[in-house]
Amino acid sequence: MKFFVDTAETDQIAELNDLGMVDGVTTNPSLILKSGRDILEVTKEIAEMVDGPVSAEVVALKADEMIAEGRKLAAIAGNIAVKVPLTWDGLKACKVLSGEGHMVNVTLCFSANQALLAAKAGATFISPFIGRLDDINLDGMELIADIRTIYDNYGFETQILAASIRTVNHAFQAAHIGADVMTAPPSVIKKMAEHPLTEQGLKTFMADWEKTGQKIL
């Protein structure tokens, strides 16, 4: 599974990138707002930091305007994935932009039917939102599983990018089902390294080591 980092904070991206934990980055208008940075400036900086796809989202609602914004964002760097919403206009923009050779991430997906349409429109990535489905008492993981089945049935090359990941259990379940990519905040990726038995075992080892009176350095 590929790990995309869901943030526009360049220091957090750099830390994980140094560990080889970054296969790409996703941003959106909310993350740009949180960063306090200019979208073109911060997107360029991120694209220079990582080798993988960097999703930058259009903010227009009409297809023609989405296409124009998408072209401008794609011109920032060769690894930009233009992010468009899963609306009819977004699908039109996806078809044009993907036809021009640009990577396209179709976002705000909440149904398998939507995912099927995105694949037909040539999406590079489809972003089903797990956490937001859980918020309304639906199982976001069922959506990931449904999309996986449909895409495998017909050999679609669109990659399933599990989004709105909020917990380490989300990360595990998405990997277990077979999502191609997950995008998660840096805090969730870091928490994947934690386990109470690891902490307990380390405390025991350190207490025993102290009793030996030895030093390695």
How far is it, in rounded angstroms, from Cα 87 to Cα 108? 9
Catalytic pick among 34, 62, 83, 120 = 83
Phi and psi angles of residue 49, each rounded to the nearest 5 degrees, phi first: -80, -35
Binning pLDDT at 50, 70 and 90, where does residue 21 land? very high
Give the per-residue pLDDT at 81: 98
The pair phi, psi for residue 107, each rounded to 5°, is -110, 175
Looking at the chain, the number of H-run helices and the number of E-run strands are 11, 8
Helix (H/G/I), strand (E/B), else coil: 8: coil
pLDDT for residue 59: 97
Q: Tell me what pLDDT residue 29 has.
A: 93
Q: Report helix, strand or coil for 68.
A: helix
pTM: predicted TM-score of the whole model, two decimal places: 0.95
Q: DSSP secondary structure string, 139-172?
A: -HHHHHHHHHHHHHHHT---EEEEBS--SHHHHH
Question: Which tens digits make up the pLDDT trace of 70-117?
Answer: 999 999 999 999 999 999 999 999 999 999 999 999 999 999 999 999
Q: Give the end-to-end CA distance of the chain in Å, rounded to a whole number.
A: 38
Q: How far apart (Å, rounded) are the C-alpha atoms in residues 214 and 123?
A: 59
83 is catalytic: yes
Q: pLDDT tens across 56-65, in order?
A: 999 999 999 9
Of the candidates 174, 78, 168, 192, the one whose C-alpha atom is nearest the C-alpha of residue 130 is 174
- Structural domains for the chain: 2-192 (3.20.20.70)
The DSSP output letter for 61 is: S
Give the pLDDT mean for 116-134: 98
